[in-house]
């Protein structure tokens, strides 16, 4: 029987403008296309996991507004358990403003709104209610005290915790020993270890530092190159399929959601990372955050994404 996945994190509405290039400070770029999509790292990862066939519980907070109502409707459509999505009576739902260029690169500004008011006690209630075999996936778009409570309480309950330390910010090293797996990108790995990650050799050095801090499993994502996996028994780059990128928004979220799905199915870590790389490659060939997440049939097909 597959393990349930609990995703704890943010829910935003993404307002996306696609232009030929990203503007420099003080510049206006004309001729863009506008899209509005559900987003937020936590919600993105929950949707990615649900579309890939997992039983998903999402823990988060939305405002008492149209964006919050749309988010709850989206969770229902995706078959995600939103019993622990709390409503904030004072703050609006989170919003992200995203600019995407012709090569699929992006820059993002986020107004957290209700995400910034998800409390330690609220996530504590949710963790208490989880089945003992659950897998917990969490990011850093909610308050750090809430993240810390979720990680410590999950560990105490015997649950495996995956931390996607995004967006990049300093963390207490004391928290690391409660993690089963950490999944930084190059920027996040550098912030947390002080090692600038530019290739496999530097990724290995950063991963070793995470191990010394008490994390048994490390996956450092390297964009189009794939992901570097480092455990007690495996240390290698797992390549990503080559694709023509349209929009890299939420590719990391797709990767993390897919990785959690594969681990919930008790796949070995190297197979899980390869599965996540393939899912993320599909996501960058489409516009949007949650809109770009592939379903299980696509990722299980032997062919690679175009």
Q: What is the pTM of this model?
A: 0.91
Taking only the tens place, the pLDDT of each residue in 240-252 is 988 887 877 789 9
Spell out the residues 6+ positions from residue 192 whose beta carbon is closer than 8 angstroms to its own.
165, 168, 170, 171, 184, 210
- Hunting for tokens 């996530």 — which residue is that? 123
Give the span between the Cα atoms of 10 and 279, in whole angstroms.
Answer: 21
pLDDT at res. 304: 65
pLDDT at res. 249: 75
pLDDT at res. 14: 87
130 strand-pairing partners: none
Taking only the tens place, the pLDDT of each residue in 73-124 is 999 999 999 999 999 999 999 998 989 898 888 898 889 999 999 999 999 9
pLDDT at res. 66: 95
Please report, in range form, the residues annotated as the binding site: 12-14, 40-44, 141, 185, 221-226, 247, 249, 252-253, 283, 286, 288, 292
Q: Which tokens is 74 given?
A: 């989206």
pLDDT at res. 111: 93
Give the span between the Cα atoms of 298 and 250, in whole angstroms.
Answer: 18
The domain spans of the chain are 5-300
199 part of the active site: no
Tell me which of 253, 270, 295, 300 is the catalytic residue. Answer: 253
pLDDT at res. 285: 87
Within 10 A of 170 (CB to CB), how many other CB atoms are there? Answer: 9
Please report, in range form, the residues annotated as the binding site for K(+): 247, 249, 283, 286, 288, 292
Please report, in range form, the residues annotated as the binding site for substrate: 12-14, 40-44, 141, 253
CATH H-level superfamily of 5-300? Ribokinase (3.40.1190.20)
Residues of the chain with pLDDT under 70: 1-2, 303-304, 306
């Amino acid at each position: 029987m597959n393990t349930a996945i609990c995703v704890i994190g943010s829910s935003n509405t993404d307002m996306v403008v696609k232009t030929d290039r990203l503007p420099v400070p003080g510049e206006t770029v004309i001729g863009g296309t506008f899209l509005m999509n559900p987003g937020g790292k936590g919600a993105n990862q929950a949707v990615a996991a649900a579309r890939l066939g997992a039983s998903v519980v999402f823990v988060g907070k939305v405002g008492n507004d149209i964006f919050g109502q749309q988010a709850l409707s989206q969770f229902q459509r995706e078959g995600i358990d939103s019993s622990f999505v709390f409503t904030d009576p004072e703050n609006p739902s989170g919003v992200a403003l995203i600019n995407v260029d012709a090569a699929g690169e992006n820059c993002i500004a986020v107004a957290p709104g209700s995400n910034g008011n998800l409390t330690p006690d609220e996530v504590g209630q949710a963790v208490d209610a989880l089945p003992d075999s659950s897998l917990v996936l969490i990011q850093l778009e909610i308050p750090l005290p809430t993240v810390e409570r979720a990680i410590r309480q999950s560990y105490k309950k015997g649950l495996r915790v995956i931390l996607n330390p995004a967006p990049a910010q300093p963390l207490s090293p004391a928290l690391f020993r409660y993690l089963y797996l950490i999944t930084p990108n190059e920027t996040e790995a550098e912030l947390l270890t002080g090692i600038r990650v530019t290739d496999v050799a530097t990724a290995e050095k950063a991963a070793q530092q995470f191990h010394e801090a008490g994390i048994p499993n490390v996956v450092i994502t390297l964009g189009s190159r794939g992901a570097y996996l480092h455990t007690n028994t495996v240390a290698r780059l797992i390549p990503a399929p080559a694709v023509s990128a349209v929009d890299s928004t939420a590719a990391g979220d797709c990767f993390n959601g897919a990785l959690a799905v594969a681990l919930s199915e008790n796949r070995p870590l190297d197979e899980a990372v390869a599965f996540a790389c393939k899912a993320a490659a599909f996501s960058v060939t489409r516009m949007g955050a949650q809109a770009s997440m592939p379903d299980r049939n696509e990722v299980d097909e032997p062919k690679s994404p175009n």
